[in-house]
Structure 1
Amino acid sequence: MPDDDTICLNGINALTGEYLVAPLTVEEAGRRAAGGAAPTAERAGWLRRLAKKLTGKFFGLPADVDPTDLAQAGWGVVFAKETPEDVRAALKPLLDRRAGQAGPLFRALELLPGETREAWLARHKVHGSDVNPAAVPYYLLLVGTPEQIPFEFQYLLDIDYAVGRVSFDDPADYGRYAAAVVASETAEAAPPAREVVYWGTRHPMDRATQLSADKLIAPLAGAGTTDPTVAEKYGFRTRSFRAADATKANLRAALDARPALLFTASHGMGGWPKGDPRQRPASGALLCQDWPGYGAVSADHYLAAADLGPDTRLDGTIAVVFACYGAGTPRYDPFLTAPAGGPVEVAEAPFVSALGQRLLAAGALAVVGHIDRAWGYSLEAKGAGAQIQPFRNMLARVLRGDPVGQGTIDFSQRFATYSAELLNRLDPTAPGARSAADPKLAQAWVERNDAQSYVVLGDPAVRVRKDGA
């Protein structure tokens, strides 16, 4: 098993049962960071300025704006320009509801092909990180595939705004999702159970899941303490399935019980070559404790979209998925490639995870998950113990009733802060610049990569329901 100084990534190759990426030493991570391509001067300056601003409240929102009130913060939909009319029409019930809540701060916007975050904001008369809800609302729902609206656009926009995405292969699922959100918010649908369910695997000889089970799931669920959990502080029951209990059957049972919030931590599935017909349906599927921990993985070992039949209903549930590819898969591996070799193409095109799509189509309000890799190393800083405050804060915000897009702001803050720190450490004029032996360089690189990849699937303005039994 890798030692405590090794950087382990979540993710298992379905064909071999091995890690998708072999564990890295801190020095190797430093080499990758030091040898990576430098960002443009414009991007570097923007990230440094942004990191300095993060001591203020709620990024660039005006100080007198309540970020949880759509009438003050605004709500907008951003369509890919080529979005079909039937998709726009299917979302109309949700758009009409948000227009009524946001009033004059409701906007229906488009992203032009090839348009960057900076160019898009400039076209709407917004400069840099200054959020002006009258021009571009704070809450933004992207509608389109990651080919039409790139993941990078979502990452960067999410630093200053509360951003979510819906992208379905079946156009009818847009209507199903919109109807489910409206029904949940108008109490036409039965409320979910007033509980938070934690589910986390812990495989033998597997540093990645041992970290996520012991340093993430256990403390969040209140293991080893008599203090109230975050869930209990806000009046929600807590249930936990960890290690031997984190089976596929128990995960299915947890979904069938429709908890207000489901939090999972496990390996996500990957490893199928681009073009393989199994890749899109199963990439990011959740590997369960049923897998013995070695050898090829079968479909019986993981929960995929295909395991949730047409009668599955998840109305009112919010899911948080800590797993490789849990929210989607990029076309290229952006981090773990040797500079001389260039990026490795892992998919024919980027795509949203089929499991995430299926959860939303079945009535889940939102899915918070990872694009690309999940980095268990970032859960525990050497000498400082578990580093899970962003997860605690997210749970606290969501369970007290904040919109889910506001609940994830800690990840956006960390992305900007560690990006700026990484840039400073890669500055050729700085002492010890680009030293692969610098553990802080490796830490900044890992933390930046990890924080960048958290995204919201679904409307960022949805809120947990508190009226369940």
Structure 2
Amino acid sequence: MERPIASPEDPLVLNGIDGVTGQYLVPPIALPAAAEVAEPGENTAAFEAWRKWLRFNPTRLPLDIAFDINRNDYTQAGWGVVFAEATPDKVRKALEPLIAHRHSRVTESDRAHVLAYKAGETADQFLERHGAILGDIEPDRVPYYLLLVGGPEAIPFDVQHSLSLNYAVGRLSFDTPGEYARYADSVVAYETDASVASHRLVSGWGPRHLGDRSTELSADHLVLPLFRGADVDQPPAPKKGLAAKVRYASREAIEDDATKDWLLSQFHGRTERPAVLFTASHGVAFSANDPLQRSNQGALLTQDWTGFGAMAPAHYVAASDIQDDARLHGLVAFFFACFGMGTPLHDEFPLNATRSGEALANAPFVAALPRRLLSHPGGGALAVIGHVERAWGFSIKPLGTLRPTLHPFQNTLWKIMSGIPVGQALRDFRDRFASLNNILLTHLDANTSNGKLQPRELLHRWIERNDARNYVVLGDPAVSIRHKNLQALP
């Protein structure tokens, strides 16, 4: 029997579980109440602030990279590293092996750059200062692949989001120069040492908690069809699954099997090493003044969780669970979880009439778990993809659709598994962000009566837009799975 999909009239369930209380971070909100704050009055300061907020991240322009440049090849499309002006010299030096490696492979010397970001700049101001125009990609001015160096307090998340509309963007953010050096050395080794290899294997993991609409949706209508090739009410169809399309082996743990031990086995496995790992779960979150926030925010809640009202470290996978003997070298991971990649300063989904978001942290930061994976002393992951802020079910079931859509997730994972650079793999989510931005700006346009949204529809579109925007790449956006040394499984 098919498990029901949430109705558009159901209350809004905000993803994320409180790491102390074991309850939802924000209680479910009835749609009529939420719709009342979807559109503030046009003469209010809140309305103007909202209009500017939407326009801060522009829509994707029709201009693009030159037709004779392969955007899937950084050696043609160009590669650049972007340092905040205040970046310590030790951090710059730590990344020199990676910079030299990339520059040696870019075919045109003027398409390899070391760029500076000035505090307070928007994305378009940064591009204009370097002689580029947002949307008009000229690799000899600003390369297509851009690696931002530093946390969001140095280069804001908003700058990363905006650049990602037209460029392939990643970020590195560590606490010490040594971590930057370990990541740089890991990438260079993976791309130059034939002995570094992993299996032609993709693994999927998705807990499903009783009475929790968020994980019911992600397990039944995302992880299960991706890995078994059929909806929850249909028998498995392996030939239609994610792995069969690109001739990978597949392993999955869904619902009762999605334990902490199983997920840790994918990080520490000796007999099998997945090249790609996809997870869908709640992210654990803590208040701004909780001492565990920096170390555990965005940790992955497992099936071991005993339910609402309970919470313990045994219920989630955090950075501290990744031991020094983990086998991560060459891994690309995609975590669909709240705060899985990082936390902004303020709540970006404020459901109140003033649209003022409460402080989520004392300062914005990148999550500890992906930082641990990327800088692992035994050889780090190539990249980790996921969500800044909350991850919403609208990514799986957009407004107005009768059934969930897998296309953005499928295409992202297929591209990665096929060897396309990770920074290019997120295009589907970027295009959705741009499309939703257009819908909202049309609604706000005082010069037309077309495209106006009803309050509930407006609320959904606003959340969908922010949700699509917040997918990011941590790691060098030019990294890719190297097929020639992937080991097939029997």
Superposition TM-score tier, normalisation by shorter sequence: over 0.9
| Structure-1 residue corresponding to 2:321 | 307
User: How does 1:441-456 map onto structure 2 within 5 Å?
Assistant: 441-456=458-473
Tell me the CA shift for residue 45 of structure 1: 9.8
| Structure-1 residue corresponding to 2:224 | 218
Structure possessing the higher relative contact order (Cα contacts under 8 Å, 6 or more residues apart): 1
Tell me, yes or no, if structure 1 residue 465 matches structure 2 residue 482: yes
Tell me if structure 1 keeps the 8 A contact 2:238–2:244: no
| Structure-1 residue corresponding to 2:72 | 68
Q: In 1, Cα distance between the equivalents of 2:57 and 2:161?
A: 14
Equivalent residue for 2:264, pick from 245, 252, 269: 252
SS where residue 173 of structure 1 aligns?
A: helix
Tell me the CA shift for residue 443 of structure 1: 3.0
SS where residue 196 of structure 2 aligns?
A: coil
Tell me if structure 1 keeps the 8 A contact 2:54–2:441: no
Give the RMSD, CA atoms, in angstroms: 2.2
SS where residue 314 of structure 1 aligns?
A: coil
| Structure-2 residue corresponding to 1:263 | 278
| Structure-1 residue corresponding to 2:25 | 20
Tell me if structure 2 keeps the 8 A contact 1:79–1:109: yes
| Structure-2 residue corresponding to 1:177 | 183
Aligned length: 460
Q: In 2, Cα distance between the equivalents of 1:464 and 1:188?
A: 13
Tell me the CA shift for residue 2 of structure 1: 10
| Structure-2 residue corresponding to 1:156 | 162
SS where residue 372 of structure 2 aligns?
A: helix
Deviation sequence 1:194-244 (CA, Å, 0-9, x none)? 100000010000000000001110111024324342322212111110000
Q: In 2, Cα distance between the equivalents of 1:337 and 1:383?
A: 23
Q: Which moved more, 1:420-429 or 1:161-170?
A: 420-429
Letter in 2 for 1:326: G
Tell me, yes or no, if structure 1 residue 402 matches structure 2 residue 413: no
Q: Which moved more, 1:399-408 or 1:186-195?
A: 186-195
Q: In 2, Cα distance between the equivalents of 1:278 and 1:42?
A: 31
| Structure-1 residue corresponding to 2:386 | 369
Letter in 1 for 2:299: A
Tell me if structure 2 keeps the 8 A contact 1:10–1:324: yes
Q: In 2, Cα distance between the equivalents of 1:76 and 1:101?
A: 12
Letter in 2 for 1:255: F
Tell me the CA shift for residue 254 of structure 1: 1.5
| Structure-2 residue corresponding to 1:8 | 13
Letter in 1 for 2:350: L
What are structure 2's unaligned runs of at least 5 residues? 41-45, 231-235
Tell me the CA shift for residue 389 of structure 1: 0.5
| Structure-2 residue corresponding to 1:283 | 297
Q: In 1, Cα distance between the equivalents of 2:13 and 2:215?
A: 9
| Structure-2 residue corresponding to 1:423 | 441
Equivalent residue for 2:112, pick from 99, 106, 115: 106
| Structure-1 residue corresponding to 2:233 | none
| Structure-2 residue corresponding to 1:56 | none
Tell me, yes or no, if structure 1 residue 230 matches structure 2 residue 242: yes
Tell me, yes or no, if structure 1 residue 186 matches structure 2 residue 192: yes
Q: Which moved more, 1:31-40 or 1:324-333?
A: 31-40
Tell me the CA shift for residue 419 of structure 1: 1.0
Tell me the CA shift for residue 433 of structure 1: 7.9
User: How does 1:429-444 map onto structure 2 within 5 Å?
Assistant: 430-431=448-449, 437-439=455-457, 441-444=458-461
Deviation sequence 1:27-78 (CA, Å, 0-9, x none)? 4554444236445679749835x36x3xxxxx62122211012232100000
Letter in 2 for 1:396: W
What are structure 1's unaligned runs of at least 5 residues? 54-58
Tell me the CA shift for residue 289 of structure 1: 0.3
Deviation sequence 1:394-433 (CA, Å, 0-9, x none)? 1121111110001111111111110111121233455488
Q: In 1, Cα distance between the equivalents of 2:300 and 2:132?
A: 40
Tell me if structure 2 keeps the 8 A contact 1:73–1:139: yes
Q: Which moved more, 1:191-200 or 1:223-232?
A: 223-232
Q: In 2, Cα distance between the equivalents of 1:448 and 1:156?
A: 13
Q: In 2, Cα distance between the equivalents of 1:156 and 1:82?
A: 22
Deviation sequence 1:257-285 (CA, Å, 0-9, x none)? 33100000000011x22122100000000
Tell me, yes or no, if structure 1 residue 297 matches structure 2 residue 311: yes
Q: In 2, Cα distance between the equivalents of 1:194 and 1:358?
A: 23
Call closer, same or farther: CA 1:434–1:165 in 2, change over 3 Å.
same
Tell me if structure 1 keeps the 8 A contact 2:82–2:116: yes
Deviation sequence 1:143-172 (CA, Å, 0-9, x none)? 011000000000000000000000001221
Tell me, yes or no, if structure 1 residue 326 matches structure 2 residue 344: no
SS where residue 344 of structure 1 aligns?
A: coil
Tell me the CA shift for residue 192 of structure 1: 1.5
Q: Which moved more, 1:342-351 or 1:2-11?
A: 2-11
| Structure-2 residue corresponding to 1:359 | 373
Q: Which moved more, 1:317-326 or 1:407-416?
A: 407-416
Q: Which moved more, 1:28-37 or 1:226-235?
A: 28-37
Equivalent residue for 1:127, pick from 133, 137, 140: 133
SS where residue 39 of structure 2 aligns?
A: helix
Call closer, same or farther: CA 1:275–1:438 in 2, change over 3 Å.
closer
Q: In 1, Cα distance between the equivalents of 2:212 and 2:294?
A: 26
Q: In 2, Cα distance between the equivalents of 1:293 and 1:300?
A: 13
Q: In 1, Cα distance between the equivalents of 2:479 and 2:389?
A: 24
Equivalent residue for 2:403, pick from 385, 388, 395: 385
Q: In 1, Cα distance between the equivalents of 2:217 and 2:434?
A: 25
Tell me if structure 1 keeps the 8 A contact 2:18–2:25: yes
Identity %: 44
Letter in 1 for 2:91: V
Tell me the CA shift for residue 109 of structure 1: 0.4
SS where residue 333 of structure 1 aligns?
A: coil
Equivalent residue for 2:430, pick from 370, 388, 412: 412
Tell me if structure 1 keeps the 8 A contact 2:268–2:325: no
Q: Which moved more, 1:188-197 or 1:241-250?
A: 188-197
Q: In 2, Cα distance between the equivalents of 1:129 and 1:43?
A: 18
SS where residue 385 of structure 2 aligns?
A: strand
Letter in 2 for 1:144: G
Q: In 1, Cα distance between the equivalents of 2:480 and 2:420?
A: 6
Q: In 1, Cα distance between the equivalents of 2:306 and 2:54?
A: 45
Tell me if structure 2 keeps the 8 A contact 1:27–1:437: no
